[in-house]
């Protein structure tokens, strides 16, 4: 369980940092975040929430959009990179889930199946959680970058209230209900991809 969580948050934050770096922002490199070492990305409370509730957060990668040629487009791409990495990881583990457990004895195969299934679930859960359009999650930055400028400014004014709104959604269980259709869609998506 713990290795799966650490892997999921590491590739998520690494992908944010690497995308920003490729677009011209060296901040993540200077802060030592261009690594898959989970210790570089770990936020203790966020990791605990991820283990207990299947959603959580890592230490955010700092991004300076002024390094980008097109700051709005750059922030959308950087924000998409984390959830996209988790979706790709879930797809990979889903492929292994189909083919790998049968290569072992029944007992070992059952353990392998559970391990792979948890990796699929944790990556889909992390992607879905971060795609919620609530500051400071990735989904809010994606939406902000896609809105017309006059609406973008109004939306950004909600950032100060984002953490409180997010906490209320988590405590009330509404966040899980909002995530459910996203997880379902992503699960259907990765189920389809091997046939492409």
Residue 56: pLDDT band (50, 70, 90) is low
Residue 143 near residue 152 (C-beta atoms within 8 A): no
Query: Catalytic annotation on 152?
Result: no
Looking at 29-43, 100-114, 117-131, which range is the least confident one?
A: 100-114
pLDDT number for residue 163: 85
Comparing 9-18, 20-29, 163-172, the range with the smallest average pLDDT is 163-172
Q: How far apart are CA 132 and CA 177, in angstroms?
A: 11
pLDDT above 90 as % of the chain: 55
Task: Supply the pLDDT for residue 159.
Answer: 82
Residue keyed to tokens 């990765």: 190
Residue of 8, 10, 12, 13 marked active site = 13
The answer to whether 72 touches 145, Cβ cutoff 8 Å, is: yes
Class of residue 125 by CB neighbours under 10 A (exposed 0-12, middle 13-18, buried 19+): buried
- What are the residue boundaries of the structural domains of the chain, listed by start? 2-195
CA distance 43 to 115: 23
Q: Which residue has the tokens 């959580």?
A: 56
For the ranges 7-16, 71-80, 121-130, 155-164, which has the lowest average pLDDT?
155-164
Instruction: Quote the pLDDT of residue 117.
Output: 92
Given this model, what pLDDT does residue 151 score? 82
Do residues 10 and 36 touch, judged by C-beta distance below 8 A? yes
Is residue 155 within 8 Å of 165, Cβ to Cβ?
Answer: no
Say if CB 167 and CB 56 are below 8 A apart.
Answer: no
21 pLDDT tier (thresholds 50, 70, 90): very high
pLDDT higher than threshold 90 for residue 110:
no
Q: What's the CA gap between 33 and 9, in Å, rounded?
A: 12
- pLDDT tens digits, one per residue of 123-166: 999 999 999 999 889 999 999 999 888 887 778 788 888 889 98
* pLDDT of the residue at 73: 95
């Amino acid at each position: 369980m713990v290795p799966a969580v650490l892997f999921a948050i590491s590739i998520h934050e690494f992908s944010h940092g690497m995308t920003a770096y490729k677009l011209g922002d060296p901040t993540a490199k200077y802060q030592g975040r261009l690594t898959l070492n989970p210790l570089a990305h770990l936020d203790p409370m966020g990791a605990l929430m991820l283990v207990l509730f299947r959603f959580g957060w890592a230490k955010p990668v700092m991004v300076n959009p002024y390094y980008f040629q097109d700051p709005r487009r750059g922030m959308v791409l950087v924000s998409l990179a984390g959830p996209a990495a988790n979706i790709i990881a879930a797809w990979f583990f889903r492929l292994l889930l189909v083919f790998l457990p049968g290569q072992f004895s029944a007992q070992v195969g059952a353990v392998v199946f559970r391990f792979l299934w948890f990796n699929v679930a944790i990556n889909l859960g992390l992607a879905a959680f971060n795609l919620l359009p609530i500051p400071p999650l990735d989904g809010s930055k994606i939406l902000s970058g896609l809105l017309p400028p006059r609406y973008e400014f109004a939306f950004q004014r909600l950032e100060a209230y984002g953490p409180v709104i997010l906490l209320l959604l988590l405590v009330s269980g509404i966040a899980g209900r909002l995530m459910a259709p996203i997880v379902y869609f992503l699960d259907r998506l990765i189920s389809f991809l091997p046939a492409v």
